[in-house]
Amino acid sequence: MAKPCLGYPSKTAAAMAMIAAGTERSLVAERLGLSLSALGALVDDQGRPRRDARAERGATPRDLVAPVTISLATLEMLRPYARRSDMTVEALVRSIVDTVALEKLVDAVLDDREGS
């Protein structure tokens, strides 16, 4: 369940409200304690929640999630970061993977391309 943030029911709701009010994305991210890429995983450029944006493109609920196995050791390593971001480890993993995919950062994360 989402936790209140800055007087809103969730970080997503706070981000949506600030973007709708014309606040610059960098300031929104700073106020929420997020990186710009993490903010981008929450809301699109128009301030709509990412899940809604995907649904508008014709994605069905089944398209929105897929089971993925991650070792418990890896999840435990991520737990402090999730706590700092006020989210579950599972939500953090989804956010990281979404951000890497949306921002086309796979090569940078893997750092395995020649000439990089």
Residue 78 has pLDDT above 90, yes or no: yes
Residue 6 in domain = no
- Number of domains the chain is built from: 1
Q: Give the residue numbers spanning the domain of 74.
A: 11-110
Categorise residue 79: left if φ over 0, alpha if ψ from -120 to 50, beta otherwise: alpha
Contact 15, 43 (CB under 8 A): yes
83-112: average pLDDT = 84
Q: In the prediction, which pLDDT does 44 show?
A: 83
Average pLDDT of the chain to the nearest whole number = 81
What pTM was estimated for this model as a whole? 0.46
Q: Comparing 67 with 19, which gets the higher pLDDT?
A: 19
Residue 84 in domain = yes
